[in-house]
Structure 1
Amino acid sequence: MKERNAIELYDTTLRDGTQGEKINLSVQDKLLIAEKLDEFGADYIEGGWPSSNPKDEEFFRKALGLRLSNAKICAFGSTARKPDNIANDPNLAGLLASETPVITIFGKTWKAHSAVSLGLCDEENAELIYRSVEHLKKEGREVLFDAEHFFDGYKDNPAFAIKMLLSAEEAGADRLVLCDTNGGTLPNEIYEIVKDVASSTTVPLGIHSHNDGDLAVANALSALRAGAMHVQGTINGIGERCGNANLISIIPNVVLKMNGRFRHKLQLNQLTPLSKFVYEILNMPPDNRAPFVGRSAFAHKGGIHVSAVMKESSLYEHIDPKSVGNRQRVLVSELSGQSNIRYKANELGINLPADNAALFKTLVQRIKTLEHEGFQFDVAEASFELLLRHQLGQFKPFFTVLESKLHIESGKNRESVDQAVLKIEVCDEIELTAADGDGPVNALDKALRKSLRGFYPEIRSMRLVDYKVRVLEEKKGTSAKVRVLIESSDGQNSWSTVGVSPNIIDASLQALSDSINYYLFTYRTEKANRLSTAQSAS
């Protein structure tokens, strides 16, 4: 992209994004996201459709109190329903009542929609667009015209589609936004059509693309290449059906790949935190495989890849992860080589001997053997760290489970009873403990904690936050191995551990034991380091 006018960033997460399945935002949620988008550097924040529901009307009332530094709040709606009743149209009245400085209205630019949906002839539809835009402009608002179904309409009847655009332009529209509403247009088509429209209009053009063909980002970038200077989308690509163009992918591509610039200086290194913030507000898990910001976006697993990345990261990374607020990760698995282990050890602050080839060979072979048995260390890094430190003689388990028994009783006329009994050795002492639970794994967890609290009271602050079971060797049916993954947290940090066995209880006990051992090791190591630092300071 050659040097050109700055691109405007228009976010519709709060409106078009909320039309996605299972997406719901409260008024407070929308206000928090609006503030974050403004801080990031967005130019326009589309807050909703004020005439459609009370929630959006409340949002616009409260948004008047936001102290925004960069963005303008925008209300969204349609043209009037009839060209002869503009002044009394309830939709336009609702848009004006929102008191936003910017209003976006959509109108029909596909002849079939105009004729079938509205029952209007060409001239009536053009007049409807003209008079709707004119009415809002007379009220002193900045007006953006969203040309609904524009690309389908252009391919069907280019003369009609462009005539509707010119009607909005003549009425004073500040932007003409070309919408791929059905999301089925190809990037080369977008480019050619935008180029043609740019030769017919004088008002700056925008692009609004949907992702039904998995091309929304590519289509947005093609439109910008063809001369559009205004791009619309949502954070994380949320939206109706397959979603909207993902601004999280558009932004770094424009800045880092196309030599483009946005009107406001964006906080590009806050891109990953922004993506995670919106996911958190939506109460949705982040997409680990998302380009640029996903946890796996710069994760390397193959030994050859890791060896190369350690020498020069650009050999297997298309950008510097830090530029978008992400980080490089190296995974440990059956595909690992010595490079993976060295990288992970350095990341964990573990010093490895540089000249001990036998040790590395043993470590690599041990990991490959365990992964072949079903362990998965790239998602259970706490278990990997314990394994590594144990091989280096830096870690010894804080306890040993000698025996475990489970009693499960259920029947038609009796309550379900799950009880675990554990025999544990701690510091040469034998502890026998029983506990009831909601299910056998919960009973096991309670019994393990109960037996250890007297020795290690600090474990009271840790808890299990996620538990997953995966059946391995499915063809073996009920005799197949299972892999249990556990995520634990102390409120500040979280860690994951793994266990594998044909017995789900045994696999769970392995993962639970690793989780507690890991917490005790890190807690006591940090405590010792703090004490040493304090003594040195005194």
Structure 2
Amino acid sequence: MSTASSPYARISDMLSNISNFNIIDTTLREGEQFANAFFSTEQKLKIAKALDDFGVEYIELTSPVASQQSREDNEKICQLGLKCKKLAHIRCHMDDAKVGVETSVDGLSVVIGTSSYLRKFSHGKDMDAIYKVAGEVITFIKSKGKEVRFSSEDSFRSDLVDLLRLYRHVDRLGVNRVGVADTVGCANPRQVYELIRTLRGVVNCDIECHFHNDTGCAIANAYCALEAGATHIDTCILGIGERNGITPLGGFAARMYVADKAYVTDKYNLHMLRDIENMIADFVEIQIPFNNYITGYCAFTHKAGIHTKAILNNPTTYEILRPEDFGMTRYVSIGHRLTGWNAVKSRCEQLDLQLSDAEIKEITRKIKELADIKPLGIEEVDSLLRAYNNQLDSTSHEDMHAAADAAGAEIKHDAN
């Protein structure tokens, strides 16, 4: 299929960074805000190593002023010799900055609320005060040789004129990145594109985006932000975080894989996703959802007869993600009333059973009949196919219908 005719081809945009982005994984900061999260020091070290091996460019750590343990854990992570950069998240306050610059992180992620809600009900500062303190904090951090990102909080409910004035100010001060945060998950992709596109024309520095998933738009918003010129996307493993969390690492990888497969597969160790997600699910005591991107148990399961026939002929007919690229395998379910004979034929070939198409169609009839009572597990289907093959051998393949019924009765007897 040519790019021009592809319904999912990338839209050309001269500002797009779809094939030139960085991941800032914040499982060790935002992820700690997940309801069930309480990472031990040992667990934090394992998470940091796993993310580094996966290939993220940055990991963000809890503020060193959050607790003494947090500061000590951050230091231990910084001593691991990781390839990725380590960042610490702090408030836009000189007290936090003075602690942050004394730690071993590569940079500080500075944040302050800019919406009327947060200015009134959180820190109480007006925009002029924010403008002033941002300048003081950024100048101080830069003087200590640390990388600095300055982010507004609740960006999409902030006044646009206020935002652009503030971003232009901090950009002139020499920040490495400005950050846009959809703190309550209210933004939609069109709003994201318009804001980032506008911001790209105002600042020269990189643009980082942090999208919460309260309304289900986090991945789409991240993608649109990159199309509009953003350079860095915040993620969390399994999307954990405050409330419904943020852009999930696996879901973001899936989206970007479709956009530029070569770029993503070359840059990240996608085979690690399942182990990383299983680790986090274990740490926070949750189950990986059945429909989780890439690693959910249904992600590469095919059931409907018309689907399975096409999948067996060419997997790309019903798969946009190639499971092998993520260390996963597809599964064709055949023990149900929707099964098709082509899928049953494929399983017979896997079991090295020499059956004709007519014989396979007959045993498919029996599978459907039995599955009208209850779905059959793969072991039951395999037993049925082998019993049918044996019955055919004993009757010289003369009565396919009787052989199928006999095989079905044999399986029912074994089940009882």
Structure 2 equivalent of residue 399 of structure 1: none
Displacement of 1:298 after TM fit?
1.7
Structure 2 equivalent of residue 243 of structure 1: 245
For 1:138-177, what aligned pairs fall within 5 Å after superposition?
138-153=143-158, 157-177=159-179
Instruction: Kindly indicate whether residue 383 of structure 2 is the aligned counterpart of residue 386 of structure 1.
Output: yes
Distance in 1 separating the partners of 2:179 and 2:170: 11
Deviations 1:297-329 (A, max 9, x none): 121101111111111111111132212222211
Instruction: Kindly indicate whether residue 86 of structure 2 is the aligned counterpart of residue 95 of structure 1.
Output: no
Displacement of 1:48 after TM fit?
1.5
Instruction: Kindly indicate whether residue 363 of structure 2 is the aligned counterpart of residue 344 of structure 1.
Output: no
Q: Is the strand fraction higher in 1 or 2?
A: 1
1:304 and 1:337 in contact (8 A); partners too: yes
Distance in 1 separating the partners of 2:302 and 2:265: 35
Point out which structure has higher relative CO (alpha carbons under 8 A, 6+ apart): 2
Displacement of 1:116 after TM fit?
4.1
SS at match of 1:128: helix
* Residue type of the alignment partner of 1:102: G
Structure 2 equivalent of residue 310 of structure 1: 312
SS at match of 2:372: helix
Structure 2 equivalent of residue 72 of structure 1: 85
Moved >6 Å (runs of 4+): none
SS at match of 1:172: coil
Structure 2 equivalent of residue 325 of structure 1: 327
Identify which range, 273-282 or 163-172, moves more after superposition. Answer: 273-282
Aligned length: 381
Instruction: Kindly indicate whether residue 230 of structure 2 is the aligned counterpart of residue 217 of structure 1.
Output: no
TM-score by length of 2: 0.84
For 1:57-456, what aligned pairs fall within 5 Å after superposition?
57-69=71-83, 71-80=84-93, 86=94, 89=95, 91-153=96-158, 157-258=159-260, 261=263, 265-332=267-334, 333-346=336-349, 349-355=350-356, 357-358=358-359, 360-373=360-373, 375-377=374-376, 380-393=377-390
Identify which range, 221-230 or 49-58, moves more after superposition. Answer: 49-58
SS at match of 2:24: strand
Q: Which has the larger radius of gyration?
A: 1
* Residue type of the alignment partner of 2:194: E
Distance in 2 separating the partners of 1:217 and 1:330: 28
2:36 and 2:284 in contact (8 A); partners too: no
Distance in 1 separating the partners of 2:31 and 2:91: 17
Deviations 1:249-279 (A, max 9, x none): 2123224325784798212343344333433
Q: Percent identity?
A: 25
RMSD: 2.6
* Residue type of the alignment partner of 2:222: A
Deviations 1:338-385 (A, max 9, x none): 122223344xx4112241623x24432332233222x233xx333333
1:114 and 1:125 in contact (8 A); partners too: no
Residue among 29, 45, 49 paired with 2:63: 49
SS at match of 1:15: coil
Identify which range, 21-30 or 272-281, moves more after superposition. Answer: 272-281
Displacement of 1:100 after TM fit?
0.7
1:342 and 1:352 in contact (8 A); partners too: no
SS at match of 2:390: coil
* Residue type of the alignment partner of 1:6: N
1:150 and 1:178 in contact (8 A); partners too: yes
SS at match of 1:287: coil
For 1:483-498, what aligned pairs fall within 5 Å after superposition?
none
Deviations 1:379-399 (A, max 9, x none): x333333333333339xxxxx
Deviations 1:83-109 (A, max 9, x none): xxx3xx1x2233234321111111122
SS at match of 1:393: helix
With over 3 angstroms needed to count, the CA separation of the structure-2 counterparts of 1:199 and 1:168, relative to structure 1, is same
Deviations 1:99-134 (A, max 9, x none): 211111111222442244322232111111111122
Distance in 1 separating the partners of 2:37 and 2:308: 38
SS at match of 1:29: helix
* Residue type of the alignment partner of 1:341: V
**Runs of 5+ unmatched residues, structure 2:** 1-9, 392-411
SS at match of 2:267: coil
Distance in 1 separating the partners of 2:252 and 2:41: 27
Distance in 2 separating the partners of 1:166 and 1:27: 39
